[in-house]
């Protein structure tokens, strides 16, 4: 079984003689309505223990996620120099999957849940861009969606407050503990968690030299 991507950009045509040795099946992408139903069902089942206000915004979150995904497919196409600009349904799926790591006791307000959603959009999509103009274009896409929605716009300052940090590795040494996202204020808080993990690791497995790179404000791109 072989899977081929759409020809274009850095994807070349396949020799017809080679293709003739296979049975060919064309599978179209699910419709927007189907994707909306699939992702909504998954996320709605997760937030059933969250507040009513968060449950009510799930359809909008799915709508915004699909809108960002469609804009990225349209504006960011693979080229010989950017051959890795290949986006698929795996990307919005990863956003929804990450939102499943939220817990009601830590994300009990609309603005907190929206901020973790924005964080995932940045990590899944924007982190792949290595061009300043592409990052700016992505920022414009997200900002337009937020500015055109009254609910999102009312929390705009909170959503874009820097840095946007949601780690899930506080319990990394506890195999029986689920990974849960938590909001951190700055990089110093992350360093404190790293220091705590190192101490626990040394107590459990003995002395070992572990060196982490110095975490500085703005060490990776954030949205403006």
Task: List pLDDT tens digits, range 136-193.
Answer: 999 999 999 999 988 888 888 988 888 888 877 777 767 777 777 777 778 788 888 8
Range of 120's domain?
Answer: 30-161
d(CA 136, CA 62): 23
Q: How confident is the model at residue 217 (pLDDT cuts 50, 70, 90)?
A: very low
Residue 152 to residue 79: CA distance in whole angstroms: 34
The model's pTM: 0.76
CA distance 165 to 116: 9
Least confident stretch, 5-9, 94-98, 138-142: 5-9
**Closest Cα partner for 149 from 116, 110, 93?**
110
Does residue 23 belong to any structural domain of this protein? Answer: no
Instruction: Indicate whether 15 pLDDT > 80.
Output: no
Q: What is the CATH number of the domain that holds 153?
A: 1.20.920.30
d(CA 127, CA 25): 33
Residue 11 predicted with pLDDT over 60: no
140 lies in some domain = yes
Q: Residue 64 falls within a domain, yes or no?
A: yes
User: Is 190 a domain residue?
Assistant: no
Average pLDDT on 58-65 reads 95
Between these two residues, 97 and 86, which has the higher pLDDT value? 97
Residue 216 counted as domain residue: no
Q: What is the DSSP string of 144-205?
A: HHHHT-HHHHHTHHHHTPSP-B----TTTT-TTSPP----BSSHHHHHHHHHHHHHHHHHHH
d(CA 62, CA 78): 25
Contact of 60 with 53, CB cutoff 8 Å: no
Residues in the chain: 224
Q: Is residue 6 part of a domain?
A: no
With vertex at residue 129, the alpha carbon angle to CA 127 and CA 133, rounded to the nearest 5 degrees, is 125
> Alpha-carbon distance 223 to 164, whole Å?
9
- 200 found inside a domain: no
Mean pLDDT score of the chain: 83
Per-residue pLDDT, 5: 58
Average of per-residue pLDDT across 191-197:
82
Q: How many CA atoms lie within 13 A of 184 on its CB side?
A: 18
What do you get for the CA distance between the two ends of the chain, in Å? 45
Residue 96's pLDDT band (boundaries 50, 70, 90)? very high
Task: Give the total number of structural domains in the chain.
Answer: 1
pLDDT value of residue 118? 94
Q: Cα–Cα distance between 60 and 110 in angstroms, integer? A: 12
pLDDT band at 52 (very low <50, low <70, confident <90, very high): very high
Helices (H) and strands (E) in the chain, counts: 9, 0
Residue 183 lies in a domain: no
């Amino acid at each position: 079984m072989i899977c081929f991507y759409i020809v274009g950009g850095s994807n070349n045509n396949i020799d017809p003689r080679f293709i003739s040795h296979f049975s060919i099946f064309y599978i179209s992408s699910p419709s927007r309505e189907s994707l909306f139903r699939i992702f909504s069902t998954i996320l709605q089942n997760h937030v059933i223990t969250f507040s009513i206000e968060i449950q009510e915004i799930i359809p909008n979150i799915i709508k915004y996620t699909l809108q960002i995904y469609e804009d990225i497919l349209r504006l960011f196409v693979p080229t010989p120099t950017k051959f890795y600009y290949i986006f698929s349904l795996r990307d919005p799926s990863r956003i929804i999957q990450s939102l499943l790591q939220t817990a009601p006791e830590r994300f009990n307000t609309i603005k907190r849940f929206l901020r973790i959603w924005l964080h995932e959009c940045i990590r899944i999509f924007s982190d792949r861009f290595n061009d300043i103009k592409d990052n700016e274009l992505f920022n414009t896409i997200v900002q337009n969606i937020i500015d055109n929605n009254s609910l999102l716009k009312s929390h705009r300052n909170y959503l874009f407050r820097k840095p946007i940090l949601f780690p899930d590795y506080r319990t990394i040494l506890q195999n029986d503990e689920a990974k849960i996202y938590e909001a951190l204020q700055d990089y110093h808080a992350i360093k404190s968690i790293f220091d705590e993990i190192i101490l626990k690791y040394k107590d459990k497995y003995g002395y070992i030299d572990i060196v982490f790179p110095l975490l500085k404000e703005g060490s990776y791109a954030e949205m403006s």
